[in-house]
Structure 1
Amino acid sequence: MNSLQDALYNWLTIKVVIDERPDDTAAVETENMFYKMLTEDHALSNIEVTKDDVMYYVHYDQNGDRKKNRFPCELIDVMLEQINDEPEKYINYPTE
């Protein structure tokens, strides 16, 4: 099982992608998988994301407590930047 930190990082990285590419079916499926991991394996709820110039902040409830993790924007945005730099490698193949 992934650590909570790893699960949050993976979920946030792909969430940033689908926020910009909501029709990317592979990204949506991946985000759903990581979100399920957060809610079922780590018992998180009320997950919210905020961002400033330097960091993403993930706020969530776990075991009755409100908590927050932070991640540098440069680490989270790497996948989206890669997709935007080479879109021909990340073609969306919609399910039929």
Structure 2
Amino acid sequence: MVIVVRHRPDDGAAKQTLDFFAQILHEDHMLTSVADQVNENTYTVTYEREGQINQAEFDIILCEQLWHDIESNPKYNE
């Protein structure tokens, strides 16, 4: 959802969904910080949990698929 909100900053539903997911990460999974970095082929997500900093990498094409799907649907672009 971070990607969708970055590309669609006026999309209120996307922002609400992002806020909801952020709340789940914080309350249910005890993450105290989450940051992402875009590389050539991946998104690297850095997060802190219980004082430990961890990273995970995700394929950029898969990460951006939701945004592309939304953009290609005229229903969401009126």
TM-score (norm 2): 0.91
Unaligned runs of 5+ in 2: none
Gaps of 5+ in 1: 1-13
Map 1:55-94 → 2, pairs under 5 A: 55-86=42-73, 88-91=74-77
Deviation at 1:85, TM superposition (A): 2.1
Task: Give the structure 2 partner of residue 36 of structure 1.
Answer: 23
Matched AA of 2:61: E
Shift of 1:20: 0.8
Q: Which has the higher strand share?
A: 2
- Please identify runs of 4+ aligned residues in structure 1 that moved more than 4 A: none
* Number of residue pairs matched by the alignment: 78
**CA displacement, residues 7-53 of structure 1 (integer Å, 9 cap, x when unaligned):** xxxxxxx1100011111011011101100000111111221100111
Aligned partner of residue 22 in structure 1, secondary structure: coil
- How far did residue 91 of structure 1 move? 4.1
Corresponding position of 2:2: 15
- Once residues 28 and 46 of structure 1 are traced to their aligned partners in structure 2, the CA distance between those partners, rounded to angstroms, is 18
- Scaled by the length of structure 1, the TM-score of the pair is 0.75
* Percentage identity across paired residues of the two chains: 29
Higher helix share: 1
Q: Which has the higher contact order (CA 8 A, sep 6+)?
A: 1
Q: How far did residue 84 of structure 1 move?
A: 2.1
Q: CA RMSD in A?
A: 1.3
Q: Deviations over 1:44-90 (max 9, x none)?
A: 1221100111110110110110111111111110011112223x221
